[in-house]
């Protein structure tokens, strides 16, 4: 069976005090359940200290495509490894739209993550305009092809894909389980045309306004293998309930 994984994306939220309280609440509640939190860079050391030895993993929300050098403000894959990261999100729609990350740059970041032994969580998804124009599949295919073209389909055996429709992120508008399942099945089917084994084993998360109240029906879909959780990952009870729903 393929692995289910819920990951929290804290985005640019948190403080030492708030994080300590959140981690102290989720760690015992999720004992034995594999889940992850992707936190702002300055808090990686705090999260590493709090979660080391538990069933929870941690990671970052971005990384540089460069290995090292004069790149002011950037953070490398090796630095993330220094803090025990397992995962790193690449190509989140906020990075694509607000910071101009192209498909090509996202693919380079994905490669940099894998070269260091980190597991990239590759985000794909369409905007509202694109959905309404009927090009959801083309957009998701283009985003996947950029990575497959540069890293090869076999690389997906060591990656997680997150389908995050942009119109569902932070809006309270979740894709219906059927809408999400349809795109997840498309993603798996597309990859299966290249490598059936990789497609079958690939963890595909859904992200976009996932909450405790809608997690179970999303996670029950055959091609939804967990979630990438924004706002609800900052609320201990919500995050714990979502992780438990996925683990069932």
Helix axes 236-247, 16-29, angle to 10 degrees: 30
Chain position carrying tokens 């929290």: 8
Read off the DSSP letter of residue 161.
Answer: E
Residues 131-160 that bind ligand 13P (CB under 6 A): none
Contact mark string toward ligand 13P, 181..210, x via CB under 6 A: --------------------------xxxx
Smaller CB separation from ligand 13P, 202 or 228 = 228
Read off the DSSP letter of residue 221.
Answer: S
Rounded Cα gap, residues 223 and 228, in angstroms = 15
Q: At 45, list the tokens.
A: 């050391």
Contact mark string toward ligand 13P, 68..107, x via CB under 6 A: ------------------------x---------------
Q: Helices (DSSP H) in 163-210: which residue ranges?
A: 177-192, 196-201
Residues 207-226 that bind ligand 13P (CB under 6 A): 207-210
Neighbours of 146 (CB within 10 A): 21
Binding test (CB under 6 A) with ligand 13P, winner from 231, 239, 243, 244: 231
Smaller CB separation from ligand 13P, 198 or 230 = 230
Determine, following the binding rule CB under 6 A, whether residue 229 of this chain makes contact with ligand 13P. Answer: yes
Neighbours of 217 (CB within 10 A): 15
Q: Is 92 a catalytic residue?
A: yes
Which residues in this chain contact ligand 13P in the complex, by CB under 6 A?
9, 92, 164, 169-170, 207-210, 228-232
């Amino acid at each position: 069976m393929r692995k289910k994984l819920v990951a929290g994306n804290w985005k640019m939220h948190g403080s030492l005090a708030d994080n300590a309280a959140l981690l102290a609440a989720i760690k015992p509640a999720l004992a034995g359940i594999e889940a992850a939190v992707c936190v702002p860079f300055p808090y990686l050391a705090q999260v590493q200290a709090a979660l080391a030895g538990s069933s929870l993993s941690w990671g970052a929300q971005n990384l540089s495509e460069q290995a090292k050098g004069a790149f002011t403000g950037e953070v490398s894959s090796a630095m993330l490894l220094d803090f025990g990261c397992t995962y790193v999100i690449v190509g989140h729609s906020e990075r694509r739209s607000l910071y101009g990350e192209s498909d090509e740059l996202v693919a380079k970041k994905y490669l940099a993550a894998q070269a260091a032994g980190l597991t990239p969580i590759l985000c794909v998804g369409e905007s509202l305009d694109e959905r309404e124009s009927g090009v959801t599949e083309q957009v998701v295919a283009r985003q996947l092809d950029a990575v497959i073209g540069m890293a090869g389909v076999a690389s997906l055996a060591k990656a997680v894909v997150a389908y995050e429709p942009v119109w569902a992120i932070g809006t309270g508008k979740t894709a219906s389980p059927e809408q999400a399942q349809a795109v997840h099945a498309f993603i798996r089917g597309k990859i299966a045309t290249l490598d059936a084994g990789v497609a079958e084993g690939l963890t595909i998360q859904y992200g976009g306004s996932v909450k405790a109240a809608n997690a179970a029906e999303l996670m029950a879909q055959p091609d939804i293998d967990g979630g990438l959780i924004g706002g609800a990952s900052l609320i201990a009870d919500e995050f714990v309930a979502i992780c438990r729903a996925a683990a069932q």
